[in-house]
């Protein structure tokens, strides 16, 4: 009863916090806007009004993308940690982000019109995440320790980075500029007209995660016990990899690589909620992840008059110490 009460309080804080910080995010930035500008920009838009234009074409898409990026990466990280039974697993650490980045690099640097289109970029990002998810899954069946799997993920990420560097050295100046700006990570690349496809794709992945809550809860017991309880392990693995690919690939395509969110947020959620019930963990991860990226982006916009801080840099600065903390905690 005490745990249920604690969960209710935490969820109330997260559910109230997400729209609050989303609303504050709309007012962040160097150009001041009013409540009227926000309302008119969203519900009675006139493109001749500069403040309404800022809200509709810049700040609202950026706010929505911040929520989607945080929620998607956090849920993807949670699924990875459950699949590999490893709290240090995540799309970035295991090379899934890197695989998506590699296919995006191939898209940008091929010069083929389809690949550089919106559809081509998204397709390649999803495909890269799925293929490298399957590669990591294959390695997980061969190695016997979690540390070995993490090392393989890191080495795979290093190998991909080297290959991407090779592509960069062979690309022309314009392609190199586009890819470099993309690789820094940004929430500003999404346009208002792109929001339906972004929201629907993210919703598909997150809803899919809720549909596999039962297999996820049973996987915590171990694969042998899961098989005895009637779970189709092979099918469940593929579904988890597919959902992770959709969520990770979507964010990577539109925002660039964003590090450590998928690793840090699910671990923080587990510490706060002290449960292995994935119905609670998935919901809490998407709320906490959305709030986390919103706060990071508000901070970035506050600093904009002084210097530009890419979102990937800030999440790494915050996430890396948390990873060290989790490792030290496990050693103890």
pLDDT in tens, 315-332: 888 877 877 777 676 655
Q: What is the C-alpha separation between 279 and 238, in angstroms, rounded? A: 20
DSSP codes of every residue in 39-89: HHHHHS--TTSHHHHHIIIIIHHHHHHHHHHHHHHHHHHHHHHHHTT-TT-
* Cα(41)–Cα(53) distance, integer angstroms: 7
Residue 222 — left, alpha, or beta (φ > 0 → left; ψ -120 to 50 → alpha)? left
- Give every CB contact of residue 134 below 8 A, 6+ residues apart in sequence: 241
Binning pLDDT at 50, 70 and 90, where does residue 83 land? confident
Residue 135: per-residue pLDDT: 85
Least trusted range by pLDDT, from 44-48, 249-253, 270-274, 294-298: 44-48
Which helix H or strand E contains 55, and what residues bound it? none
pLDDT of amino acid 191: 86
**Cβ 252 vs Cβ 74: under 8 Å:** no
Q: Average of pLDDT values for 7-33? A: 90
* pLDDT-based confidence at residue 278 (cuts at 50, 70, 90): very high
Nearest to 108 by CA among 96, 95, 94, 118: 118
Residue in 297, 318, 284, 286 with CA at minimum distance from that of residue 24: 297
Spatial contact of 257 and 183, defined as CB atoms under 8 Å apart: yes
Q: Which class would CATH give 2-331? A: mainly alpha
Cα atoms in the 13 Å half-sphere on the side-chain side of 171: 21
Nearest to 246 by CA among 71, 106, 10, 81: 71
- Return the higher-pLDDT residue of 79 and 46: 79
- Summarised one tens digit per residue, pLDDT across range 221-248 is 877 787 887 888 888 888 888 898 889 8
Domain ranges of the chain: 2-331
Residue 200 pLDDT level (bands cut at 50, 70, 90): very high
Tell whether the model's pLDDT for residue 113 goes beyond 60. Answer: no
- Mean of pLDDT over the chain: 84
* Cα angle value 117/77/25 (rounded, 5°): 65
The per-residue pLDDT for 72 is: 95
Q: Which residue did the predictor score with more confidence, 73 or 130? A: 73
Length of the chain: 332
Instruction: Say how far apart CA 121 and CA 103 lie, in whole Å.
Output: 8
Count the helix, strand and coil residues of the chain and give each as a percent rounded to the nearest 5: 80, 0, 20
Whether the pLDDT of residue 117 is over 70: the answer is no
**Percentage, residues of the chain above pLDDT 70:** 94
Interval 130-160: pLDDT, tens: 888 888 888 877 776 666 777 887 788 888 8
Lowest-pLDDT choice from 94-103, 189-198, 286-295: 94-103
């Amino acid at each position: 009863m005490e745990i249920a009460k604690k969960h209710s309080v935490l969820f109330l804080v997260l559910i109230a916090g997400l729209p609050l910080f989303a609303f504050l995010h709309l007012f962040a930035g160097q150009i001041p806007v009013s409540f009227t500008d926000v309302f008119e920009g969203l519900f009675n838009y006139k493109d001749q009004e500069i403040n309404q234009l800022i809200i509709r074409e810049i700040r609202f898409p950026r706010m929505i993308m911040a929520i989607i990026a945080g929620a998607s990466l956090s849920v993807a990280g949670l699924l990875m940690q459950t699949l590999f039974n490893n709290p240090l697993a995540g799309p970035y650490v295991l090379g899934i982000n890197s695989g998506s980045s590699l296919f995006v690099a191939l898209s940008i640097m091929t010069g083929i019109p389809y690949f550089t289109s919106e559809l081509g970029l998204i397709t390649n990002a999803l495909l890269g995440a799925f293929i490298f998810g399957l590669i990591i899954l294959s390695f997980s069946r061969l190695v016997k320790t979690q540390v070995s799997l993490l090392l393989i993920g890191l080495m795979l990420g290093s190998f991909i980075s080297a290959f991407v560097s090779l592509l960069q050295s062979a690309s022309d100046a314009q392609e190199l500029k586009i890819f470099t700006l993309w690789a820094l990570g940004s929430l500003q690349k999404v346009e208002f007209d792109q929001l339906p496809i972004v929201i629907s794709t993210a919703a598909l992945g997150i809803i899919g995660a809720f549909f596999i809550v039962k297999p996820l809860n049973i996987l915590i017991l171990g694969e042998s016990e899961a098989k005895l309880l009637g779970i189709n392990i092979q099918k469940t693995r593929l579904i988890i990899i597919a959902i992770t690919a959709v969520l990770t690939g979507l964010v990577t395509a539109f925002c660039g690589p964003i590090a450590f969110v998928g690793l840090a947020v699910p671990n923080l959620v587990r510490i706060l909620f002290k449960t292995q019930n994935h119905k609670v963990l998935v919901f809490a991860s998407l709320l906490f992840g959305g709030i986390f990226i919103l706060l990071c982006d508000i901070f970035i916009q506050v600093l904009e008059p002084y210097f530009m801080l890419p979102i990937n840099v800030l999440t790494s600065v915050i996430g890396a110490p948390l990873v060290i903390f989790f490792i030290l905690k496990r050693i103890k």
